[in-house]
Amino acid sequence: MRNFLVEAPNIDFLKIRKIGYLISFSLLVISLFLFFTKGFNLGLDFTGGTSVQVKFNQPVKISDIRPLLKEVKLDDALIQEVGTEKKEIEIRVSTKKGSSSMVVENIKKALDGKYKGQYEIRKIEFIDALVGSEMARASIYSIAFVFLGILLFVGYRYEPLFAIAAVIPLFHDAIITLGLFSLIGREIDLTVVAAILTVLGYSLNDTIIVFDRIRENIKQRGKKNLRTIINKSINENLGRTIITSGTSLFSVLALYFFGGESLNSFALALLIGIVFGTYSSIYVAAPLILEVENLLRSRVKKEQLSGV
């Protein structure tokens, strides 16, 4: 392990790239399918409403709480467990049910019947539906901003060819992360969007290190055999890619397991993002350079032919 992968292996990544494409493509299709059929469990940040987090002295069951809320006409409230101790729950009510004060009043009234003095309200959040939709829009804008920024930066520092190959995998990472969130029904809030933005930056980080090596190797050897150069570059960087993803994963796992409930979704999004980001920089980003190049070359050829 001390010198694991110091000597570059000789795996023909480009030969098996079609398998990579197939896996990625299937995952993308499944994710998009989930978007349209299952949709997302959007958090308060985007839907608006009032959320009240209550911690009890002893473990409680959601099925115990629901009838109590029914008495104060909060039948359609969303009740979720928070944390692993079964002592804390979150109750979410849409804005149609009135102001946050009224909602909190009603919840208190409902809980006092059975649990008076045995609970503590830990957090109240209210977001106007209007603000929620604004935040959703702002999230989309900021993700678009990151894509554009990265496209311009990589295009400027490297080649337009590289920029295209760098950005496509980012869509891939973002869509698959969201797809998994849809699949497991995990709530998507602002911190998840923040995690996705971070992953975009991070995933590209991986890709760029490989691209940098490709650029270096092209300089040394010329563009003669792009296929060999790309393969060599991926192999030479394999150890580094795995190690940096590994150290990042250490941190994210620590956050996931020890960071507390509020950061759990955030850590999960990072976790998924880093795993797929690493995968995509090896199996998608670098091979794409070859594809884009081939595409361009065949177009040039066609133009030349038609010109004759």
Partner 1 sequence: MGLKVDAKIKLLVIFLVLVGSIYVMMTKTPKLGLDLQGGISITLKVDIDKVIKDQYLNVAKDIEKKFKENNIELLSSKLENDTLKLILLDPTKIDKAVEVLKKEFPQLVVESSQDSITVRFTDWELNRIKTQTMKQAVETLRNRIDQFGTLSANIAQKGKDRILVEIPGVIDIERAKAIIGKTAQLELKEVVDSAYSKEELLKKYPNGIPDDLELLEGQEEVVNGQTVKEWFLVKKTPVITGAMLKDARTALDQGGNPAVNFELTSEGAEIFGEATQKMIGKRLAIVLDGKVMSAPVIRSRITSSGQITGRFSTEEANDLAVILRAGALPAPVSIVEESVIGPTLGKESIDKTLMAGIVSFTLVGLFMIYRYALSGFVAVIALVFNLMLLWVAMLLFDITLTLPGIAGIILNIGMGVDGNVVIFERIKEELHQGKTLRVSLEEGFKKGFQAIFDSHVTVIIAALALLEFGNAPLKGFAATLSIGTFINLFTAVFLTKMMLDFTIGGKKYLKYAI
For the CB of residue 135, give the shortest distance to partner 1 in the complex, in Å: 8
Q: Which of 69, 146, 269, 284 binds partner 1 (CB under 8 A)?
A: 146
Residue 120 binds partner 1, judged by CB under 8 A: yes
Q: Which of 47, 106, 139, 177 binds partner 1 (CB under 8 A)?
A: 139
Print the SS3 string covering 225-285: CHHHHHHHHHHHHHHHHHHHHHHHHHHHHHHHHHCCHHHHHHHHHHHHHHHHHHHHHHHHH
How many of the chain's residues bind partner 1 (CB under 8 A)? Answer: 77
Site for partner 1 in 234-263 (CB under 8 A): 236-237, 239-240, 243-244, 246-252, 254-255, 257-260, 262-263
Site for partner 1 in 57-96 (CB under 8 A): none
For the CB of residue 212, give the shortest distance to partner 1 in the complex, in Å: 4
Residue 160 binds partner 1, judged by CB under 8 A: no
Smaller CB distance to partner 1: residue 123 or 297? Answer: 123
Site for partner 1 in 13-52 (CB under 8 A): 45
Sole window of 12-20, 138-146, 180-188, 296-304 interacting with partner 1 (rule: CB under 8 A): 138-146
Site string for partner 1, 191-230 (x = CB under 8 A): x-xx--xx-xxx-xxx-xx--xx--x--------------
Nearest to 28 by CA among 174, 162, 187: 174
Site string for partner 1, 163-192 (x = CB under 8 A): ---------------------------xx-
